Structure 1
Amino acid sequence: MLSGNLKKMAATAPQGQVQYSLTLGDDSINMNELIGKKVALHFKGAINCTHCGRVTKKSFSQGFCFPCFKKLAACDSCIMSPEKCHYHLGTCREPEWAEKYCLQDHYVYLANSSGLKVGITRGDQLPTRWLDQGATQGRALFRVVNRRMSGLVETLFKNEVADKTNWRNMLKGTAVELNLENEQERLIGLLYDGLDALQNEFGLLSIVDLSDENETHEFIYPVLEYPTKVTSLNAEKTPEIEGVLMGIKGQYWILDTGVINIRKYTGYQASLTF
């Protein structure tokens, strides 16, 4: 048995084969080895803030207590809407944090999770970002100078392509293989004027096109069988989650009794038996 506070699973993809591990307390386990076996995740009814450690009745922004949610830059609205970054206005909650995480190179990418989508992530978060979203394909489009710029570029693309994953469709494994290189060329052609305007405003090197040096990455997830109907399991209502682990995709466990988003319960005290 493993016991401790939940956090998202670590994921890697050697040769495109996705491998998951889960850490609870001082122990970690290779989750791929539990595929096809019965597992039980017991939630103990307590939550610890992932930043300050205090006990909280409710988790905000996937793992924070309310005071931390209100004060931390990592919980500001610009995290979900990076084009609204206000560091340059001098109003950032934590300028030093922003200098470390926001004022560094970011990528704008295309991914195929429940279908074609656009997204952004820090320069050191690929392919982790794709794996967390359950993408079967991913391709970086641009390298940009900071988080705000990634949001401005993503906003252009959102007029032509989705920026959200339909998690239910993703868990059904129904995404059809796409030619992301062709999609990249098509979208850049459509949005050339907007991209050119951003470069004229912020400088030529603010957006670097990766078309000539990039490749499409493909991923295979450890899934024995995808559900035809997706039933979400809620640990708040059913603290004892158990069933045969049929697979893992994104941050979801696919059980024969339903699916559960492990990342959603970051900071929750839980124990795992198998």
Structure 2
Amino acid sequence: MFPVLIELFGIKIYTYGVLVATGALLAYFLSLKLAKKEGLNASHIENTLLLALAFGIIGGRLSYVIEHPEQIKGFVDVIAIWNGGMDFFGGLFGGVLGVIVGIVRYKLPVWKVGDIAALSLTIAHAVGRLGCTSAGCCYGLPFPVQGVSTPGIHLTTKFPFFYMVFPEGAVAPPYMPLYPTQLMEFIGLILIFFLLLLAYRKKPFDGFVFSLYMILYGILRFFLEFYRGVTPPIPGIGLTWNQIVSILMVVLSPVLMLLLPKGKKAQPV
């Protein structure tokens, strides 16, 4: 709702960038804390996290540019992430690639790192969705209400019991009531984070938290896609490609849960 957080001497500090950076810092400190509890080398985890962050930003932005070519007028628009615009699944795949590079480079235990990454990613993603709210990207479909054009968050008796109207200058269509998909996802991610945190403390085996994350976020994202207005359904299928990925996440998670306990049991955390 406030794309520019502050402007000093003609220099604009964008809210989106500040919140995304805040999410990344929270993920960074949480990863180091959990790595210490797991008995892992903190510097190796730190370097792996930086690799994941770099690959994730590149993957997320490239996917967004490919998905929304109408917003790209020149090279500056390709790299202008401070204005908002990151595709989560593109960022996820890029981040996973960065993590794999770190795991191979430092010979880290795969599923311990996976559990740490699931928690860190969830909190970073949640704060990042607040950034999306500020910029107006990842906006929802038109909300079924008439006669409201005042920018802000408005309460209603219809699910999800509030909607948003963005001002001029946001990525979202201005002065139009929209489903608050950014805040809906933020709320869902915060709930997932605390569920994962509880599971992490008593995880039965390494990789359990990562598998649980895939199930929970896959379900959340699948249903949110029905309210998002930025990704059109695939012709003939009626589902978006994000929903296809979500289905794969949910289907593969139980398989991991069945296979992983056959390995070494996790130590109490």
Give the TM-score range, shorter chain. Answer: under 0.3
Q: Which has the higher contact order (CA 8 A, sep 6+)?
A: 1
Q: Which has the higher strand share?
A: 1
Q: Which has the higher helix share?
A: 2
